[in-house]
Structure 1
Amino acid sequence: MSRILLKAFLGLLMRVLYRPKVEGVEHIAENGPVILAGNHVTFVDSLFLALILKRQVFFIGKDEYVTGKGVKGRLMAWFFTSSGMIPVDRDGGRGGAAALMTGKRVLQEGKVFAIYPEGTRSPDGRLYRGRTGIARLALMTGAPVVPFAMVGTEKVQPNGKGIPRIAPVTVRFGEPLDFSRYEGMDRDRYVLRAVTDEVMSDVMRLSGQEYVDMYATKAREKAA
């Protein structure tokens, strides 16, 4: 019920203010597990993704978003969990494994799981090298991967700071990618890299971003 209320209110508000353009939504099956893999340029990406699709989208978020105290903390927890966020402690040594297992469980339940292969928001608007967790998830579950691209959200909330601005937004979905030919090879690092690069190639084509063959976290460290 909370998701329905949130989507009804914010979905209407978003459509009125932003009039988001959605392309290729027919590539997302109406039933069964689906992995959505796309670029990540700002904080509001997940919100747009969750509100424009009929099916509920689940994604990983920092557990600090739902552990706040007081009225503000409870409101934030309600907002994020209602929008499909599953809190995971990503700062610990087992954060990556916990996120992977969470995604696997969601997909085994026949749901839609969204993931940003870059692992973090782009520091400068370019598309960075994908981490192979997306490949492991696809090969472990057999779920199709639908690449997507957020275009324009970096203008809505530059660097994830401040009150969101009004700017045109386009969300593009590509054709599903089937990696069943690699079944049982989710431990082969060469296969994992090949699968990840194929996904990122489609994301780059959909987004039109410049590609950088470096992890986004490394780029942040160099910039600092």
Structure 2
Amino acid sequence: MFYWVLKFVLVGPILRMFFRPDVQGLENIPSRGPAILASNHLSFSDSVFLALMVSRRVTFLAKSEYFTGKGFKGLLSRWFFRGAGQVPIDRASGTAAQDALDTGTRILREGKLLGIYPEGTRSPDGRLYRGKTGLARMSLESGAVVVPLVMIDTEKIQPIGKKIPRIYKVRIRIGVPLDFSRYDGMSGDRFVERSMTDEVMYELMLLSGQQYVDLYAAKVKVAMDDTGASADEVVRMLKPSPLEVAERVPATLAG
């Protein structure tokens, strides 16, 4: 109930008035049944604008820190994120990855929309980074289609490290659903799951116009913290050669 109050009364009207979201492709989101909304990730505000513009309720998996803060700020954070349809995941747990997969699959089997950021974290520099295969596993285990979509210019509203948002027009582009039923029964095949994930990332690249980097964003961020180098410098240091990529991910011919 509170989700809809936030969307249509408390938060939604204000965001629509100031940020004037422009959305193309809403008809590509199924009106019923499970679907994974796979998006690039540029800003903390991505989940807010995506949930605002989609008519169906969207559930996201969020880090548990948003739900465990202390004092009034922690209370406000819990209040907002629970109301916004976020489900807490303890990323520090040794079973965090499996917990996220299990929770996401359960949500999809209930026929709901699940919002996922395949990159696993916000882009450190506006480029599109390698996707994690969890979305492929959840799609295979639940039978959900994957809807690729991209957020454009949200990083200009609240850049990483900035607490006060700026007014900037938001754009969302939603692509045609990807049907991976040709891989039915192949959950757990890492090459199939990598192939599916790469197909999703390719669609995100086409929709957004972002440059693609074949590295995990989280790995780049760790290296940035350790070395003090920029994202571009780290990417040049870590980026695998074409031969290494070919050896790491063999061609998948299934389907």
Question: Normalising TM by the smaller chain, what interval?
Answer: over 0.9
- Distance in 1, matches of 2:92 and 2:208, equals 29
- The residue correspondences of 1:75-224 to structure 2 (distance < 5 A) are 75-159=76-160, 161-224=162-225
Task: Give aligned-pair identity as a percent.
Answer: 56
- Higher RCO, Cα 8 Å, sep 6+: 1
**Under a length normalisation based on structure 2, what TM-score does the superposition of the two structures give?**
0.86
Give the secondary structure class of the aligned counterpart of 2:75.
helix
| Residue identity opposite 1:195 in structure 2 | M
Deviations 1:22-61 (A, max 9, x none): 0101000111101000100111111111111111100111
Deviates more, 1:91-100 or 1:104-113: 91-100
- Distance in 1, matches of 2:110 and 2:23, equals 26
Structure 1 runs not aligned, ≥5 long: none
- Distance in 1, matches of 2:16 and 2:172, equals 13
- The residue correspondences of 1:39-78 to structure 2 (distance < 5 A) are 39-78=40-79
Deviations 1:147-197 (A, max 9, x none): 000001000001152211001110111000000000111111111110000
| Residue identity opposite 1:19 in structure 2 | R
| Count of matched residue pairs | 224
Deviates more, 1:79-88 or 1:64-73: 64-73
Corresponding residue for 2:234? none
Do the aligned residues in 2 keep the contact of 1:43 with 1:160 (CA within 8 Å)? Answer: no
Give the secondary structure class of the aligned counterpart of 1:167.
coil
- Distance in 2, matches of 1:182 and 1:204, equals 23
| Residue identity opposite 1:165 in structure 2 | R
| Residue identity opposite 2:218 in structure 1 | T
- Distance in 1, matches of 2:153 and 2:69, equals 30
Higher-Rg structure is 2
Corresponding residue for 2:232? none
CA offset at residue 218 of structure 1? 1.5
Do the aligned residues in 2 keep the contact of 1:42 with 1:160 (CA within 8 Å)? Answer: no
- Distance in 1, matches of 2:65 and 2:20, equals 31
| Residue identity opposite 2:119 in structure 1 | E
Do the aligned residues in 2 keep the contact of 1:146 with 1:176 (CA within 8 Å)? Answer: yes
**Under a length normalisation based on structure 1, what TM-score does the superposition of the two structures give?**
0.97
Corresponding residue for 1:6? 6
- Distance in 2, matches of 1:123 and 1:145, equals 25
Do the aligned residues in 2 keep the contact of 1:62 with 1:89 (CA within 8 Å)? Answer: yes
| Residue identity opposite 2:121 in structure 1 | T
CA offset at residue 124 of structure 1? 0.7
Deviates more, 1:69-78 or 1:59-68: 69-78
Q: Indicate how the Cα distance of structure 1 residues 48 and 174 shifts in structure 2: closer, same or farther if over 3 A, else same.
A: same
- Distance in 1, matches of 2:23 and 2:217, equals 26
Structure 2 runs not aligned, ≥5 long: 226-255
* Alignment root-mean-square deviation, CA: 1.0
2:59 counterpart of 1:33? no
Give the secondary structure class of the aligned counterpart of 1:223.
helix
